[in-house]
Structure 1
């Protein structure tokens, strides 16, 4: 099916103005299909011309253009021809549509806890035609009036304020102009918590089986929502423009959240069923702030085409972290940014798929999906911090505000943004944009003991100015902190040469710029015994990020990283560092970068470090101690091999009190037992019976796939291949568990089969969901030269979509990095 090209979008945008859409959805039919009736009003600037509308129905019953019947057989490849247009046009379409099970279109999911169904619309990136007839491109925005018929015990939430006009019949208020991919309807027997702030009605909604956790956590989420609204109102002087503000926690959601105006959708794992650590709460707060920032960046002003995606995501990313620090009183959010988001972004920069922050080619809509990555998010946000260092915060805010005001309810692009920022700054920003926005790759920053700070740029990259600081730490004392504006390949930093040999040197210690840090050999040698003493959590973040990046570049032995984890990690205070470093070492360092024969001993060392952390937790009073105990238990459950302890934890014995009754933690322990080949059928059946929730059903799939037997792998593979009703989340759980547990001798037969399976899945799964499954299914789980040969053949196939190919290319790069590390360090 062809994807809309940029050239086609420009032609339609020059030809048409979309004036309004009325969409009527009938969700009270069966669990497979729904009815869709669309009335689309639009103006044609060249009467007599022809174009097409976008539509992907199961059955097209009727289509009329200006009262003239259109031949249903003319619909081909999702395009309905619209010939001989008048100046003012009305297109009416009546169709039967199919519910999605891949998280796209109108997704329908059943909660096994009570057998209730839930429906939500996720029309990103090009899924709107699976729900209603439209002109599907971001620069043809229009107001929507939506009506919905639903089962009588359901409630409906959408972009416009919803009211029930008769039993089972809902009317949503006409919206402000929206891009098609922002339209949503969420319907089901939701449990809801409502509120109001500054004249704005607020709502939180989740599945009925999550009623208890939602109500317990609602006060915190509503307080976060109110604080973010106030902050954005103060910052931009532009009020929230979309009426009511609802946040719906929906099942089987592909991303973290989606910024639908007035009705933001979140993955429902953000409603925590069990213990929630500070980093998890911080992540949820940040996601709330991120999606709200989109109400201005992306929703009020939308990029004209997908190559300016950064105008949406980079700004929302930066604004969310800034807001978390300033409005939510959480400066530790920048630690999370460094150890989670920047790690993601630096990995994307190392990959062959790297691209510029702005203006990355998006010749068609589907190719744009490849750029929703750590560059558009994390690097873009870091670049905005550098822009503020370059022009000052006052000019930055003034420029942003002018850009928003001058494009309200419209579309913008890079050149217009730069004009607004340049006017506010009183100078041209074209050179800055060339260096930071239009060229790919990360500079590498190194600080020598002689005080020389060097910047090594990727080949062909224009020199970038860096505003940063360097610091030196002797034990718990910060003995040096120097600010630097680096405009040349090298600069002398005063005071560094005078520090002693026992001092840890950290370039970019405040994590202010975007650049991969290379630590000097003396500092590397000091880290196992000195990193925990460094008093600045941002400096520790930079060090951890440098170690992980150095391992991927085959410059740091993964065994050194393991040494630092063993000695420094259990003494760490920041929850984000504890959580993310633990996940990296158990999910990447040990299973990918260490050879198989070293893994059991390495995991034993990690488990011992988790025990040290647990001992620390016992001495920390209150909620802070509980949080550390949870983090320690989670990492032990990923690395420990004491079967008696694992089985006791499954039964609830010997657990930290805060984890009592925590179903998600029990599944984590069961997954470890399964990977160790120690989980019986009876134990798994008992766990499934004890947790009949949607999360439990999905977790059980991953646990079954994690068993280290040929039979378990065959079961998982066949379920992926043959189960046409398998949801996006079910497929992802099976894929994530597939390469776990078993040795190479069990997994090798499947390495060369991945491509055929992905091509088969592509017949029933959308690009967004399948790209995630493809990343998990890539055979980097077997780190051998034969896997690289299979990966090379996989990338050469011509029957995989661009998004899937991009996901596989990134995983292929990680496999090459692991093999490179093995060749260097043995």
Structure 2
């Protein structure tokens, strides 16, 4: 409904009318399984006589009192907004309501643990969902203090942004207690938090750079707590604190730091001030890849960076969302690389974040880093590869441009000047201009205010003895986004030495224009491999010259530098996606070189791209044969890998994912029943589910086997794995059942919805999805209107039958777009779906040549 989708103009008008001082919020969590009592008192100043509104989504508003005058809720409340007329200069508003728990991961999420029946709650408020819990001026530039009082079962833990007080038992309600938290510092509403339930906790502390003792807590629910490696998490947290306090020259700005692992979380984590929530997938009950272990460290440091950049200093409006997230991406990567044992974090960034950014930046929905955000729906679909990964890449380019010391000095000045306030991009750039002496207005216009990714390729000529006689870097841009940009980058010279391809020289230069001559390389001996964008400073797709490409393909495993290898891997994948290289050639490249790759995230990312190439990018007539070959080779790689290694583990996981033949099925069945073994490979609970899913994709098991596996693992993780595995069953009837389970009812919680969609997409033969094309387009507009954003987006993206990759699917998608011109955010998701299919068809055509 219109009132739910706040526009930027409305937010600006409201900011001009009111200034909020404080919220006093009382929540009673003892009123049943569906609603909780919410009482909000807001103190704010306003233009005398003006009118405005406060946001609140609830089941029922019971009373509204403005400056001592009771207002009729039926008159002033429309279900999303409460109208406030005739404001005084100083105002007190009290709103009492019955607010609803959710099962969507938005607002106050309620979860019942299937292991022990215990109830767990947690809040998730970004972007506009604190209004689901209390009445609030829901926009980031109306900061205030928040004082929470929570009534809950006495056996529970209750955590918020302020330190947890000693609860007081209620004499009139035995078994219930009240937690009265101290007011927070000035915050935006979206980073406030309430987490409640019988969570278990382990505590520690650290000493901040200003001498304060900062209490630390790590929480998880009881049935998972035994798997929590709290000492390691505390260690990474301390390393992050020390790094950021030194580099930012600003002590941690809050009183305590709790990290809470919560069930059915939609994202990786959320930067609530002093009370960060994380997905429970970061509590490892089974073996995980080193890539996932590293990703958890990066996530821990990402959220910690937000305590300064986002929570202490917050954007005025969501068009600068990118700056919050991009800064945290960049800061967490450099902190991981420099302050922890994960020293190759920039290799991970190249393999994962950059790949995400390049994909997003080539979609028709791409947008400038500084996006136009007209309303909340724009924000919700903008948590994308541009906001996070391209923005982080651009910041890395900016750091190279101004210098690391000048960058950190500018950031430190920015925090001091704007603490507890709201800013815009120019506030940061102005500080960086002072510390670096560079004018950044032109840089900002080219990098932040235009969309698209450039491609850089070398043009090199040599004499008969291999001496470089001419060297230039050529820069191109997509026709739709023709901006040519300045780049700070390095050129690496790599030569074969004792069987290794090692860097023998490095040149750092500025590139600008469509052609940049590099005179300093003329007269030098051309290396075996010439790598532009060495060290991955620039944000650009790169290509290799012909002889370097041949050397790279033949000696990819011999490149000593893991970041250089990742750049070559990335270049090969970009070239495949752009239709310059045949997908079949990419498959051969991966299968011929992945055995000796050492970086876990590079392996994980590359194997994911391998399965995409096999299932979606090779010509359809070769698909089954390619999938078979990939499965055969992955199993051989698993057998040959070092016992107990990360590589062995990953090869088995991806083999289970792409298994397709009776022989593959027999191997999976053997792994499951123990008749097939690999040295030091344990088939633990989660790997057993992945093997079962591989069997399900092949129709080798049915619902009975899935039900039996769930009975043996009737946990939240088990329920999600069972939902994913059921949805992976291969027949048209199976796919229809999965589809209907999500569309026909809104009872399933977000995590089950998400995992069902993953299983729905898991196919070797996509033909079973064809009967659902019409049903998909018949449901998406209704889902967008009736379901919450998180669920609707999962349905629109997760149930799109993309594996079909057919001209018929293109036509059906375009027909829907032509018939539905008036739902911008939904159209964006459908347009992105269409772009993926159109790219697949182009790449398939190239593969057939």
Q: TM-score, normalised by structure 2?
A: 0.93
User: Which position in structure 1 is the counterpart of 2:91?
Assistant: 89
User: Structure 1 residue 58 and structure 2 residue 59: aligned?
Assistant: yes
Range 129-138 or range 370-379, more displaced:
370-379
Q: Distance in 1 between matches of 2:761 and 2:337?
A: 39
Q: Distance in 1 between matches of 2:816 and 2:79?
A: 27
The equivalent position to 2:168 in structure 1, one of 147, 165, 168, is 165
Range 97-106 or range 370-379, more displaced:
370-379
User: Structure 1 residue 72 and structure 2 residue 70: aligned?
Assistant: no
User: Which position in structure 2 is the counterpart of 1:544?
Assistant: 569
Deviations 1:310-351 (A, max 9, x none): 220111110000100111132211111011111100001101
User: Structure 1 residue 489 and structure 2 residue 514: aligned?
Assistant: yes
Q: Distance in 2 between matches of 1:15 and 1:655?
A: 69
C-alpha displacement of 1:490:
2.2
User: Structure 1 residue 530 and structure 2 residue 555: aligned?
Assistant: yes
User: Which position in structure 2 is the counterpart of 1:603?
Assistant: 627
**In 2, are the aligned partners of 1:566 and 1:605 still within 8 Å (CA)?**
no
C-alpha displacement of 1:64:
0.7
Q: How many residue pairs get matched? A: 815
User: Structure 1 residue 22 and structure 2 residue 47: aligned?
Assistant: no
Range 664-673 or range 638-647, more displaced:
638-647
**In 2, are the aligned partners of 1:146 and 1:172 still within 8 Å (CA)?**
yes
Q: Distance in 2 between matches of 1:244 and 1:765?
A: 36
**In 1, are the aligned partners of 2:736 and 2:772 still within 8 Å (CA)?**
no
**In 2, are the aligned partners of 1:25 and 1:37 still within 8 Å (CA)?**
yes
**In 2, are the aligned partners of 1:449 and 1:497 still within 8 Å (CA)?**
no
Matches within 5 A, 1:462-501: 462-474=484-496, 476-478=500-502, 479-493=504-518, 495=521
Q: Distance in 2 between matches of 1:117 and 1:658?
A: 38
Q: Distance in 1 between matches of 2:547 and 2:793?
A: 42
User: Which position in structure 1 is the counterpart of 2:173?
Assistant: none
Structure 1: runs of 5 or more not aligned: 620-624
Q: Distance in 1 between matches of 2:676 and 2:416?
A: 58
C-alpha displacement of 1:524:
4.0
Deviations 1:156-207 (A, max 9, x none): 1111112222243222221111111111111111121111111111111112
User: Which position in structure 1 is the counterpart of 2:722?
Assistant: 700
Q: Measured at CA, do residues 441 and 700 of structure 1 come closer, stay the same or move farther in structure 2, by a change above 3 Å?
A: same
C-alpha displacement of 1:660:
2.8
C-alpha displacement of 1:5:
1.2
Q: Distance in 1 between matches of 2:581 and 2:727?
A: 33
C-alpha displacement of 1:277:
2.4
Aligned to 2:431, the other structure's residue is in SS state: helix
User: Structure 1 residue 639 and structure 2 residue 652: aligned?
Assistant: no
**In 2, are the aligned partners of 1:300 and 1:410 still within 8 Å (CA)?**
yes
**In 1, are the aligned partners of 2:572 and 2:586 still within 8 Å (CA)?**
yes
C-alpha displacement of 1:361:
0.6
Range 772-781 or range 6-15, more displaced:
772-781
Deviations 1:223-267 (A, max 9, x none): 000110111111112111121111111111111111000111111
Deviations 1:266-320 (A, max 9, x none): 1110111111222111100000000000000000000000111122011111000
The equivalent position to 2:796 in structure 1, one of 738, 753, 774, is 774
**In 1, are the aligned partners of 2:615 and 2:764 still within 8 Å (CA)?**
no
User: Which position in structure 1 is the counterpart of 2:319?
Assistant: 307
Matches within 5 A, 1:423-502: 423-450=434-461, 451-458=471-478, 459-474=481-496, 476-478=500-502, 479-493=504-518, 495=521
User: Structure 1 residue 176 and structure 2 residue 185: aligned?
Assistant: yes
C-alpha displacement of 1:744:
4.3
Q: Distance in 1 between matches of 2:381 and 2:366?
A: 10
User: Structure 1 residue 589 and structure 2 residue 613: aligned?
Assistant: yes
The equivalent position to 1:670 in structure 2, one of 692, 701, 708, is 692
**In 2, are the aligned partners of 1:528 and 1:567 still within 8 Å (CA)?**
no
Matches within 5 A, 1:395-434: 395-434=406-445
C-alpha displacement of 1:371:
2.2
**In 2, are the aligned partners of 1:707 and 1:742 still within 8 Å (CA)?**
no
C-alpha displacement of 1:498:
6.6
**In 1, are the aligned partners of 2:484 and 2:512 still within 8 Å (CA)?**
no
User: Structure 1 residue 382 and structure 2 residue 383: aligned?
Assistant: no
C-alpha displacement of 1:596:
4.0
Q: Measured at CA, do residues 412 and 146 of structure 1 come closer, stay the same or move farther in structure 2, by a change above 3 Å?
A: same
Range 68-77 or range 314-323, more displaced:
68-77
**In 1, are the aligned partners of 2:269 and 2:279 still within 8 Å (CA)?**
yes
**In 1, are the aligned partners of 2:104 and 2:788 still within 8 Å (CA)?**
yes
User: Which position in structure 1 is the counterpart of 2:835?
Assistant: 813
Matches within 5 A, 1:603-752: 603-618=627-642, 625-640=644-659, 641=661, 642-656=664-678, 659-660=681-682, 662-741=684-763, 743-752=765-774
Q: Distance in 2 between matches of 1:648 and 1:153?
A: 46
Aligned to 2:98, the other structure's residue is in SS state: strand
Q: Distance in 2 between matches of 1:22 and 1:124?
A: 20
Matches within 5 A, 1:138-153: 138-153=140-155
C-alpha displacement of 1:34:
1.2
Range 336-345 or range 535-544, more displaced:
535-544
Q: Distance in 1 between matches of 2:732 and 2:33?
A: 35
Q: Distance in 2 between matches of 1:272 and 1:773?
A: 28
User: Which position in structure 2 is the counterpart of 1:361?
Assistant: 372
**In 2, are the aligned partners of 1:275 and 1:659 still within 8 Å (CA)?**
no
C-alpha displacement of 1:38:
0.5
Aligned to 1:762, the other structure's residue is in SS state: helix
Q: Distance in 1 between matches of 2:676 and 2:766?
A: 34
Q: Measured at CA, do residues 497 and 508 of structure 1 come closer, stay the same or move farther in structure 2, by a change above 3 Å?
A: farther
Q: Distance in 2 between matches of 1:526 and 1:511?
A: 20
C-alpha displacement of 1:797:
5.2
User: Structure 1 residue 370 and structure 2 residue 384: aligned?
Assistant: no
Q: Measured at CA, do residues 496 and 519 of structure 1 come closer, stay the same or move farther in structure 2, by a change above 3 Å?
A: farther
C-alpha displacement of 1:591:
1.6
Deviations 1:438-461 (A, max 9, x none): 111111111234233211134442
User: Which position in structure 2 is the counterpart of 1:202?
Assistant: 216
Q: Distance in 2 between matches of 1:388 and 1:787?
A: 44
Q: Distance in 1 between matches of 2:327 and 2:546?
A: 37
**For the aligned residues, what is the CA RMSD?**
2.0
Q: Distance in 1 between matches of 2:556 and 2:566?
A: 10
Aligned to 1:560, the other structure's residue is in SS state: helix
User: Which position in structure 2 is the counterpart of 1:276?
Assistant: 288
**In 2, are the aligned partners of 1:630 and 1:658 still within 8 Å (CA)?**
no
- Show structure 1 runs of 4+ deviating over 6 A: none
Q: Distance in 1 between matches of 2:794 and 2:703?
A: 29
Q: Distance in 1 between matches of 2:647 and 2:250?
A: 41
Q: Measured at CA, do residues 786 and 168 of structure 1 come closer, stay the same or move farther in structure 2, by a change above 3 Å?
A: same
